[in-house]
C-alpha cells in the first residue's frame, strides 16, 4: 500500500487505527513486536583489532615504533642481547593505544548517555488519551498530534490539517515550507516533495496544527532508506586538538632533525655508529609528547562532564573552547531570565476599570479572560485535584486564571465549539479562532496590542493605548483581545478575511517574574567582561522594565523595538550595536542581524533560543544555546549546547567552565612541553660537549610516560582558579601559547636543562663525591634520570596556579597529589631495586648522589616561586 495514493479512511483501515481513540496498549505491543522500535539500525562498529591498528598510524607512534625497531636491531647486532628497551617502547605504544581505545569507548558511552537525555518525543493519542511518548515507541497506526515546532519522527498520512506548513529540506532540498492538504490525492509518479498529504521523518512543522496516522517507522521510513546507504561516524576533533596534533608532529620533526644532527656530530667525533644510533633513538624518544593529546582530550571530556552536571549538555565539543571566549550573550527573556510562570495580574475592560486579580475578579474581567481562553491551544489536565496546563506560558496564564476563578476551558469549548483557526506565528504576533455561538459565529483575535491596534475599529482604543503603556511600565506582558460577530460561518479562514474591523474587548496584563539567580548571574557576567543582551517578543517598555530590574540596561536609550531595528541599515546597526542592550518585538530575521552585527564587531556571541524560527540564529551564533525544557527538537538540533534547566545562570556557569578548560589545557602544555623540550637540549648539549649520552631511550620513555603522564592525567581535573570570572574573555584569535606561555615553557625548560646537566656532570665526572661510587657515565645517567624525573613530577605543582604552591589547597585536586606521590614512589623504586636498575640501565649510587639529585630537583620549584613572588600583585586589604 502506498499511503499517499489512498484516502484517509483507507489508511485508517489498513493500519487498524483510530483518529479519535488511537491504538490500545495491546495493539502497540503487537506492532512493536512485528515492526521493532522506531529507530535506525546502528552502523557496524569498528572492531577492537581495527581500532588498535588504526591507532598505530599516528605520527608520533610511528616514530616510537621506528625507534623500537632500531633498538631491537642494535640489541641483535651486539652481544649483550638486551631486548628490554625495544620491548618497553613497544609496550608503551600498546598501552597508549589501549588507553586511546578505552577513552574512545568512554566517549561513546558518554555520547550515548547524552543522546538518551535528548531523546525526541512525539505526541499521540492512545487508549483515548493524549500522551507524550519517546519517538522510538511510535508504531504504524499511531495517531500523531502536530503543532508548530513539532519534529516529525516517523512517516505519516495526514488526516486533518489547519494551516499546516512543513519544512522538508532534509529530504527534498527545498527550503520553502510546504502547505499540506489531507484531501490531496496522490499520483503514481509523485516525488516526495509533491506528496502534499504526507509527512516524512526528519521534516518539521513550522506553522499550523494537524493530525496524522503513522505509516512507517525506523528503517522503513524514507529517511531510514537513505540512512541504510550511509555508514560513517567520524570522531569530531576540536580546533585546539587539531593544532596540538600539528604541534606534536612539529616537535617530533625537530627531534628527528636534532637526532640526525647529533648522529652526524658523533660520527665526526669518531664515536661508534651503533652508539650514535642508540643516542639518536634517545633523542627521538625524548621529544615525542606521547601523552599530550590524551591529556588534552581528558581535560575537554572532564569539562563536558562537569558542564552536564551543571545542566549544560554540550552537543559539539568545539563549543567548550568557544565558550571561554564568549563576550556577548544574547538571551531570550521568558523562561531564561525569568521564571516562565506567567500569572495574570491586571485586566482592563473599559475606561479606568482595571482589575487587580490578586484583590478579586469582576464579571467584566472574567468575560475578557473567558473569551481569550477560547483562543488558546493549551492542554488542561486535572489529575488528583492538581491543575496542570501544558503549552504556551502566556496562554497557560489566561486559562489558569479562568480555571481558578470561574469555569473550565472544556466547558467553554463545549459551549462555543471551535470551527476554524489561524495559528499564532512569530511573524504576525497574533492568533485567531472561529467559534459557533448559537446560530451565529464569533472570531476571536488575541495578540500584541501594538500589532492589533490598527485592526480595532470599535471600542475605547485610545484609552487602551494609555493603559497598555501603563501596564508596560510595570513590566507586565500585555495581550489585547478583540472579536467580530459573523452571521454565518466564514468561508475563508484567512488573516485578510478575519483579522480586521475588530471590536476591542480588553487588555490582559501578565507578569513573568525574574528568576532569583538571574540578577546575580548577569552581574557576574558583567564582571567577567561579558555583555548581556535581552532579545524578546515583548513590548519595548515591558522588556525595558525587566532589563532595568536585572541590571541589563541603565537608560531607555539602550532599548529599541523590532520596527526601529528594521529601519536601520547594517552599517547603522553596526554603529549602535555596542550601545544597545534590549531588542523588543523582534522577528527571527532580526535575531540573525543582531548576531552578525556583533560578530562583525569582533565579538564571540552566545545565543539562546527555543523555537523553530530560532534555529537560524542559533546556527549563526558562535555558541547556540537551546532550551532543554521548552525548546523544540529543531532548536536543539541546531544548538551547540542544550540547557536542561532553561536558566541564564547555567550559561554563565558554562562560560566559567569553558575558561577553566582552556586554562587547564594551557597548564598541561606548560607541564609537558617544559620537560620534552628540556630533554632535547640536555641530549644535544651533552653530546656537543663530548660528555656522552645523558639518558637511554628507555629512561626517557619512563620520564615521559610515568613522571609526566601520571600527574598530567590528574592535571585535567584541576578546578578553576579563583577569580577566573574576574578576567576578561579569551580573545577569539588568541593562540594557545599567547600571554607568555612560550616564555614560561622556555624558562622552565632552561632550568630543567641546567639542573639535569649539573647532575649528569657531577655523577659522570666529579671525583670524591663518594669513596664507594666513583664517577662514570652510568652514575651520571642515574643522577640525571632522578633529577629530571623528580623535577618533572614536582613541576606539576608549579603549573597548578599563578599563586605560590603554599597558597594552593592540595585537597582541591586529591587525584593530582595521589598521582604525583605514585610517580615519585615508582621512580624511587626502580632506582633502588636491583632488578629494575638493570632493566632501566641504572646503577646504585651513594647517599651523597641521592642528596644532590633531590636538591637539584627542588631548584625549579624555588626558581618558579621566586618569579611568582616577584610578579605577585599587591592585594587591597578591603578586597580580601
Residue 443 has pLDDT above 90, yes or no: yes
Note whether 182 and 161 are within 8 A (CB): yes
Note whether 512 and 393 are within 8 A (CB): yes
Split at pLDDT 50, 70, 90, the class of 237 is low
**E strands in 438-564:** 440-447, 456-458, 477-486, 502-511, 531-536, 559-561
**E strands in 729-811:** none
Q: What is the pLDDT of residue 43?
A: 53
The runs of H, that is alpha helices, within 133-238 are 169-172, 222-227
For residue 350, give the 3-state DSSP assignment.
strand
> What DSSP state is assigned to residue 804?
-
- Cα separation, 588 vs 574, in Å, equals 18
The set of cell numbers assigned to 371 is 473569551
- Cα separation, 720 vs 285, in Å, equals 33
Angle at CA of residue 19, ends 18 and 25, nearest 5°? 45
Stretch (H or E) spanning 271: none
Determine which of 252-256, 510-514, 572-576 has the lowest per-residue pLDDT on average. 252-256
pLDDT digits over 51-60, tens only?
778 767 766 6
When comparing pLDDT for 437 and 511, which is higher? 437
pLDDT, averaged across the chain: 85
Q: What is the pLDDT of residue 426?
A: 67
Split at pLDDT 50, 70, 90, the class of 874 is very low
- Cα separation, 620 vs 638, in Å, equals 10
When comparing pLDDT for 404 and 393, which is higher? 404
Determine which of 165-174, 261-270, 436-445, 797-806 has the lowest per-residue pLDDT on average. 165-174
Q: What is the pLDDT of residue 45?
A: 63
Split at pLDDT 50, 70, 90, the class of 484 is very high
What mean pLDDT comes out for the span 145-168? 89
For residue 334, give the 3-state DSSP assignment.
coil
pLDDT digits over 412-426, tens only?
999 999 999 998 876
| φ, ψ at 153 (rounded to 5°) | -110, 5
Residue 213 has pLDDT above 90, yes or no: yes
**E strands in 202-342:** 204-216, 312-314, 328-332
- Cα separation, 394 vs 343, in Å, equals 8
What mean pLDDT comes out for the span 112-137? 79
Determine which of 424-428, 561-565, 580-584, 668-672 has the lowest per-residue pLDDT on average. 424-428
> Of how many residues is the chain composed?
880
- 604 alpha carbon, distance to own chain's centre: 15
Split at pLDDT 50, 70, 90, the class of 142 is very high
Q: What is the pLDDT of residue 208?
A: 84
Note whether 158 and 212 are within 8 A (CB): yes
The set of cell numbers assigned to 9 is 479512511
Stretch (H or E) spanning 408: none
| φ, ψ at 850 (rounded to 5°) | -60, -45
pLDDT digits over 683-737, tens only?
889 988 989 889 887 888 889 888 988 898 888 788 877 788 988 998 877 777 8
> What DSSP state is assigned to residue 646?
-
The set of cell numbers assigned to 531 is 555583555
The set of cell numbers assigned to 128 is 483515548
Q: Which residue, 719, 720, 723, is CA-closest to 815?
A: 719
Split at pLDDT 50, 70, 90, the class of 103 is low
Determine which of 559-563, 633-637, 848-852 has the lowest per-residue pLDDT on average. 633-637
- Cα separation, 742 vs 677, in Å, equals 11
Instruction: Report the sign of the C-alpha dihedral through residues 178, 182, 185, 187, in that order.
Output: positive
For residue 582, give the 3-state DSSP assignment.
strand
Q: Is 332 a catalytic residue?
A: yes
pTM score above 0.95: no
Split at pLDDT 50, 70, 90, the class of 877 is very low
Note whether 623 and 496 are within 8 A (CB): no
- Cα separation, 287 vs 673, in Å, equals 9
Instruction: Report the sign of the C-alpha dihedral through residues 561, 562, 568, 571, in that order.
Output: positive
How many other CB atoms sit within 10 Å of the CB of residue 425? 18
- Cα separation, 214 vs 146, in Å, equals 12
Q: What is the pLDDT of residue 79?
A: 60
For residue 282, give the 3-state DSSP assignment.
helix
Residue 651 has pLDDT above 50, yes or no: yes
- Cα separation, 809 vs 814, in Å, equals 9
Q: Which residue, 752, 749, 757, is CA-closest to 692?
A: 757
Residue 290 has pLDDT above 70, yes or no: no
The runs of H, that is alpha helices, within 499-632 are 518-527, 540-550, 562-567, 570-576, 588-600, 615-620
What mean pLDDT comes out for the span 12-38? 92
What mean pLDDT comes out for the span 563-576? 94
Give me the domains of the chain, ranges plus CATH numbers. Answer: 1-231 (2.70.150.10), 260-300+660-719+736-872 (1.20.1110.10), 312-338+515-646 (3.40.50.1000), 343-511 (3.40.1110.10)
Q: What is the pLDDT of residue 175?
A: 54
Q: What is the pLDDT of residue 321?
A: 78
- Cα separation, 553 vs 579, in Å, equals 10
Split at pLDDT 50, 70, 90, the class of 81 is low
Terminus-to-terminus CA distance in the chain, angstroms?
Answer: 76
Q: What is the pLDDT of residue 60?
A: 66
> What DSSP state is assigned to residue 280?
H
Q: Beta strand pairing status for 121-126 and 328-332?
A: unpaired
Catalytic one of 332, 377, 610, 633: 332
How many other CB atoms sit within 10 Å of the CB of residue 169? 14
The runs of H, that is alpha helices, within 193-272 are 222-227, 239-268
- 267 alpha carbon, distance to own chain's centre: 55
- Cα separation, 784 vs 791, in Å, equals 10
What mean pLDDT comes out for the span 664-681? 89
Q: What is the pLDDT of residue 48?
A: 76
Question: What is the side-by-side strand order in the sheet with 559-561?
Answer: 312-314, 641-643, 623-627, 605-609, 328-332, 531-536, 582-584, 559-561
Residue 230 has pLDDT above 50, yes or no: no
The position carrying cell 557576567 is: 525
For residue 691, give the 3-state DSSP assignment.
coil
Split at pLDDT 50, 70, 90, the class of 286 is low
Determine which of 316-325, 355-364, 645-654 has the lowest per-residue pLDDT on average. 316-325
> What DSSP state is assigned to residue 513?
P
Residue 239 has pLDDT above 70, yes or no: no
Q: Which residue, 180, 210, 211, 209, is CA-closest to 193?
A: 180
Q: What is the pLDDT of residue 219?
A: 85
- 429 alpha carbon, distance to own chain's centre: 31
Stretch (H or E) spanning 370: helix 363-374
pLDDT digits over 591-638, tens only?
999 999 999 999 999 999 876 667 788 888 999 998 887 776 667 777
Angle at CA of residue 612, ends 235 and 230, nearest 5°? 35
The set of cell numbers assigned to 407 is 469555569
How many other CB atoms sit within 10 Å of the CB of residue 630? 18
pLDDT digits over 757-791, tens only?
999 999 999 988 887 889 999 999 999 999 999 99
DSSP letters, 110-136, are HHHHHHHHT--EEEEEETTEEEEEEGG
The position carrying cell 623500537 is: 68
Amino acid at each position: 500500500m502506498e499511503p499517499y495514493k489512498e484516502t484517509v479512511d483507507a489508511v485508517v483501515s489498513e493500519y487498524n487505527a483510530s483518529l479519535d481513540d488511537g491504538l490500545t496498549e495491546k495493539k502497540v505491543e503487537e506492532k512493536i513486536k512485528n515492526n521493532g522500535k522506531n529507530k535506525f539500525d546502528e552502523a557496524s562498529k569498528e572492531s577492537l583489532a581495527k581500532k588498535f591498528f588504526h591507532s598505530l598510524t599516528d605520527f608520533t607512534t610511528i616514530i616510537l615504533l621506528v625507534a623500537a625497531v632500531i633498538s631491537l636491531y642494535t640489541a641483535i647486532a651486539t652481544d649483550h642481547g638486551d631486548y628490554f628497551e625495544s620491548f618497553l617502547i613497544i609496550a608503551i605504544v600498546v598501552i597508549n593505544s589501549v588507553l586511546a581505545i578505552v577513552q574512545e569507548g568512554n566517549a561513546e558511552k558518554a555520547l550515548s548517555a547524552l543522546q538518551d537525555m535528548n531523546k525526541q518525543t512525539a505526541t499521540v493519542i492512545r487508549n483515548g488519551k493524549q500522551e507524550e511518548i519517546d519517538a522510538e515507541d511510535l508504531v504504524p497506526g499511531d495517531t500523531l498530534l502536530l503543532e508548530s515546532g513539532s519534529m516529525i519522527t516517523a512517516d505519516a498520512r495526514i488526516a486533518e490539517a489547519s494551516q499546516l506548513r512543513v519544512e522538508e529540506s532534509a529530504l527534498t532540498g527545498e527550503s520553502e515550507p510546504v502547505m499540506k492538504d489531507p484531501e490531496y490525492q496522490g499520483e503514481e509518479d509523485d516525488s516526495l516533495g509533491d506528496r502534499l498529504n504526507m509527512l516524512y521523518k526528519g521534516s518539521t512543522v513550522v506553522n499550523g496544527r494537524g493530525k496524522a496516522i503513522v505509516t512507517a517507522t525506523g528503517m522503513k521510513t524514507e529517511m531510514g532508506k537513505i540512512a541504510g546507504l550511509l555508514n560513517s561516524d567520524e570522531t569530531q576533533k576540536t580546533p585546539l586538538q587539531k593544532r596540538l596534533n600539528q604541534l606534536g608532529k612539529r616537535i617530533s620533526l625537530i627531534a628527528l632533525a636534532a637526532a640526525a644532527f647529533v648522529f652526524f656530530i658523533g660520527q665526526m667525533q669518531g664515536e661508534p655508529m651503533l652508539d650514535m644510533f642508540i643516542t639518536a633513538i634517545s633523542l627521538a624518544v625524548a621529544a615525542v609528547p606521547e601523552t599530550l593529546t590524551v591529556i588534552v582530550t581528558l581535560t575537554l571530556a572532564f569539562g563536558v562532564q562537569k558542564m552536564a552536571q551543571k545542566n549544560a549538555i554540550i552537543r559539539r565539543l568545539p563549543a567548550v573552547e568557544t565558550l571561554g571566549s564568549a563576550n556577548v550573550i544574547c538571551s531570550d527573556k521568558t523562561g531564561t531570565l525569568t521564571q516562565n510562570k506567567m500569572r495574570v495580574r491586571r485586566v482592563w475592560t473599559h475606561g479606568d476599570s482595571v482589575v487587580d486579580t490578586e484583590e478579586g475578579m469582576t464579571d467584566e474581567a472574567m468575560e475578557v479572560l473567558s473569551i481569550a481562553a477560547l483562543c488558546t491551544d493549551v492542554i488542561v489536565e486535572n489529575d488528583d485535584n492538581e491543575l496542570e496546563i501544558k503549552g504556551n506560558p502566556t496562554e497557560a496564564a489566561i486559562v489558569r486564571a479562568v480555571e481558578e476563578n470561574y469555569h473550565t476551558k472544556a466547558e467553554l469549548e463545549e459551549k462555543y465549539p471551535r470551527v476554524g483557526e489561524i495559528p499564532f506565528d512569530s511573524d504576525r504576533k497574533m492568533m485567531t479562532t472561529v467559534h459557533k455561538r448559537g446560530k451565529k459565529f464569533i472570531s476571536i483575535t488575541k495578540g500584541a496590542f501594538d500589532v492589533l491596534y490598527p485592526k480595532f475599529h470599535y471600542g475605547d482604543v485610545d484609552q487602551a493605548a494609555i493603559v497598555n503603556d501603563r501596564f508596560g511600565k510595570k513590566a507586565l506582558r500585555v495581550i489585547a483581545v478583540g472579536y467580530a460577530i459573523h452571521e454565518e460561518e466564514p468561508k475563508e479562514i484567512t488573516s485578510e478575511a478575519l483579522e480586521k474591523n475588530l471590536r476591542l474587548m480588553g487588555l490582559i496584563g501578565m507578569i513573568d517574574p525574574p528568576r532569583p539567580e538571574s540578577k546575580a548571574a548577569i552581574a557576574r557576567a558583567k564582571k567577567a567582561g561579558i555583555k548581556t543582551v535581552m532579545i524578546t517578543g515583548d513590548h519595548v517598555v515591558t522588556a525595558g522594565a525587566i532589563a532595568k530590574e536585572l541590571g541589563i540596561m541603565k537608560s531607555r536609550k539602550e532599548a529599541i523595538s523590532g520596527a526601529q531595528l528594521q529601519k536601520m541599515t547594517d552599517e547603522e546597526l553596526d554603529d549602535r550595536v555596542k550601545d544597545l542592550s534590549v531588542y523588543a518585538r523582534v522577528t527571527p530575521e532580526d535575531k540573525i542581524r543582531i548576531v552578525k552585527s556583533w560578530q562583525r564587531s569582533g565579538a564571540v556571541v552566545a545565543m539562546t533560543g527555543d523555537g523553530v524560527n530560532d534555529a537560524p540564529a542559533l546556527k549563526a551564533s558562535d555558541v547556540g544555546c537551546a532550551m532543554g525544557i521548552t525548546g523544540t527538537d529543531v532548536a536543539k538540533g541546531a544548538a551547540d549546547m542544550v540547557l536542561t534547566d532553561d536558566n541564564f545562570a547555567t550559561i554563565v556557569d558554562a562560560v566559567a567552565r569553558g575558561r577553566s578548560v582552556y586554562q587547564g589545557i594551557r597548564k598541561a602544555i606548560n607541564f609537558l612541553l617544559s620537560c620534552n623540550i628540556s630533554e632535547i637540549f640536555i641530549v644535544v648539549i651533552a653530546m656537543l660537549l663530548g660528555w656522552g649520552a645523558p639518558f637511554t631511550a628507555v629512561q626517557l620513555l619512563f620520564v615521559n610516560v610515568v613522571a609526566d603522564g601520571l600527574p598530567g592525567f590528574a592535571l585535567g581535573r584541576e578546578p578553576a582558579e579563583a577569580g577566573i570570572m574576574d578576567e576578561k574573555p579569551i580573545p577569539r584569535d588568541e593562540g594557545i601559547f599567547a600571554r607568555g606561555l612560550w616564555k614560561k615553557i622556555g624558562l622552565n625548560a632552561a632550568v630543567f636543562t641546567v639542573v639535569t646537566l649539573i647532575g649528569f656532570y657531577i655523577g659522570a665526572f666529579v671525583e670524591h663525591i663518594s669513596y664507594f661510587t666513583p664517577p662514570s657515565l652510568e652514575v651520571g645517567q642515574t643522577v640525571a634520570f632522578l633529577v629530571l624525573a623528580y623535577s618533572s613530577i614536582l613541576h606539576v605543582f608549579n603549573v597548578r596556579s599563578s599563586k605560590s604552591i603554599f597558597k594552593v589547597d592540595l585537597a582541591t585536586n586529591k587525584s593530582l597529589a595521589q598521582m604525583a606521590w605514585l610517580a615519585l614512589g615508582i621512580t624511587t623504586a626502580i632506582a633502588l631495586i636491583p632488578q629494575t636498575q638493570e632493566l632501566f640501565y641504572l646503577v646504585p649510587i651513594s647517599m651523597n648522589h641521592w642528596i644532590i639529585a633531590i636538591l637539584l630537583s627542588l631548584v625549579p620549584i624555588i626558581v618558579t616561586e621566586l618569579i611568582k613572588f616577584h610578579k605577585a600583585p599587591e592585594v587591597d586589604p578591603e578586597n580580601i
